[in-house]
Structure 1
Amino acid sequence: MTAAPGIGTDTGLAPALADDLAAAALALARRFAAGATLWCLAPAWAPHAQHVAVEFVHPVVVGARALPAVALVDRDLVGTARLSVRSGDVVLAVADAADREIRDITRRAPAWGATTIWIGHGERPPAGAADHVLWHDDPDPALPATGGFVLLYHLLWELTHVCFEHPGLLTVDGDCTDEVCVTCSDEGRVVEVIEQRGVSSALVRTPDGQEEVAVDLVGAVARDDLLLVHAGMALRVLGEGDS
């Protein structure tokens, strides 16, 4: 991991966490370069969401870019995020692994086309719960009030700007450009139900917009259900325990 200016090697971060930070910063920089907005959530610790947003919107380092970031602190975070997040955006959560709202949002993010970053401590979220997990394993309930979380998102902010100093990193190689891609066409996708239409189809939200899918195999569906879809056919309804 390349150190940002002012960041030494005495931060106390475990090597694995340092690697996770570097990967998250690169993904975040690429999303910002493509026009993303960063949506910051911390249901139990709203000041952390506000602090993260301020870091990205109001850079204090000369020459650093102001980046679009918004703190969501509404009571209905899932509903607000659904209305706010657009395909290509990033959702950053500061919460413990048991936070039901964050777990619900991160499992819906693939249908919204959003990248997810989860900062927390103690017991870790299930594998695959977020695209990037930046975690303190310390279960001390006082940790959110210390500088542990602040250090993580300050480092994330600084490393994101380090990535901007190397424009070649901001281009993702290997994107599929063929009209028909065998690999992509064989992939199961997560979509979110907008409404059922008739007996055998439903209108759903996907990263590419709205589309209709067949629901013959799963039967009746409800608004906001998550479906696993392949080749235009819903294979099953995803439950809370599905990553």
Structure 2
Amino acid sequence: MTGTLPAGPTVVDDGIGEDLSADLAAASLVLARRFAAGATLWCVAPSWEPHAQHVAVEFVHPVIVGTKALPAVALTGPDPVAEVRVSVRPGDVVLAVAGAQDAAVAAVMRRAPAWGVTTLWIGSGARPEPGSSDHVLWLDDPDPRLPATGGFVLLYHLLWELTHVCFEHPGLLAEPAQECSDEVCITCSDEGRLGEVVAPGAGGMARVRTAEGIEAVATTLVEPVTAGELLVVHAGMAISRIDEEGQA
């Protein structure tokens, strides 16, 4: 069995329709695969910290006999970007519970590719920009009271349950093979990667964090650079900056 989530609970009520059900299934499958590969789930909710703590507890302390205790941590300090930056490892998952207007969460999501992590954003009302997160689980109801009514809790309870449904089918947990038929893949070799400056250096070089780790990158084309700045890296050289709006 590969690639398809088995039948699970039918999700029809509380504003969770067919599209959101599909988003939940896809996010759960990816989350199960990351956990199977050794990932930790890092949870942030700057405006609603109890949600971050609740998500972490759901995964660490399962209530159903026989289900796995999965590594999850709530980060609840004043600077989500700094806390996530020092906590995550490549392959981990960051889950945020926040509105689309939350600048700190948007900054975390924007940096995630440089840290090599998968992102999942739960929220309501106006949606984040397309591509802001790998997975978006969203309730379109604009009611500002929604975060306190249980809608978010339902979403991450279902996420937890469906993740464990995947664990019941080990054939689902292997990552699909990435195939490239050419000896040198032109598309892959020409792809820019996101990097975050760790420390600027002398001679037009800087230490930059990418999904592959810390790299020495030539910054001649974009100098001066500062720690925390996002760059597009190609062939060992920074070719452009990414601003706080995610634009090159």
TM-score by length of 1: 0.94
Structure-1 residue corresponding to 2:135: 132
Partners of 1:3 and 1:160 lie apart in 2 by: 12
Q: Relative to structure 2, which stretch is displaced further, 178-187 or 202-211?
A: 178-187
Partners of 1:170 and 1:180 lie apart in 2 by: 29
Partners of 1:31 and 1:10 lie apart in 2 by: 27
User: What is the CA distance between 1:57 and its match in structure 2?
Assistant: 0.3
Report the AA paired with residue 137 of structure 1.
D
Structure-1 residue corresponding to 2:47: 44
Q: Which runs of 4+ in 1 moved over 6 A?
A: none
2:188 to 184, 191, 203: 184
Deviations, residues 54-82 of structure 1 (Å, cap 9, x unaligned)? 00000011110000000000112111111
SS at match of 2:111: helix
Q: Relative to structure 2, which stretch is displaced further, 11-20 or 67-76?
A: 11-20
Partners of 2:139 and 2:234 lie apart in 1 by: 37
Report the AA paired with residue 224 of structure 1.
G
Structure-2 residue corresponding to 1:226: 230
Report the AA paired with residue 39 of structure 2.
A
Structure-2 residue corresponding to 1:193: 197
TM-score by length of 2: 0.92
**Does the aligned pair in 1 maintain the 2:61–2:69 contact within 8 Å?**
yes
**Does the aligned pair in 1 maintain the 2:208–2:215 contact within 8 Å?**
yes
Partners of 1:10 and 1:105 lie apart in 2 by: 31
Structure-2 residue corresponding to 1:25: 28
Change (3 A) 1:96 1:9: closer
Structure-1 residue corresponding to 2:13: 11
**Does the aligned pair in 2 maintain the 1:199–1:220 contact within 8 Å?**
no
**Does the aligned pair in 1 maintain the 2:6–2:166 contact within 8 Å?**
no
1:208 to 199, 208, 212: 212
Deviations, residues 105-152 of structure 1 (Å, cap 9, x unaligned)? 000000000100000000000111000000001110100001100010
User: What is the CA distance between 1:183 and its match in structure 2?
Assistant: 3.3
Report the AA paired with residue 162 of structure 1.
V
SS at match of 1:29: helix
1:112 is aligned to 2:109: no
1:34 is aligned to 2:37: yes
Partners of 2:59 and 2:235 lie apart in 1 by: 39
Partners of 1:33 and 1:138 lie apart in 2 by: 34
Report the AA paired with residue 185 of structure 1.
S
Partners of 1:114 and 1:179 lie apart in 2 by: 28
Structure 2: where are the runs of 5+ without partners?
Answer: none
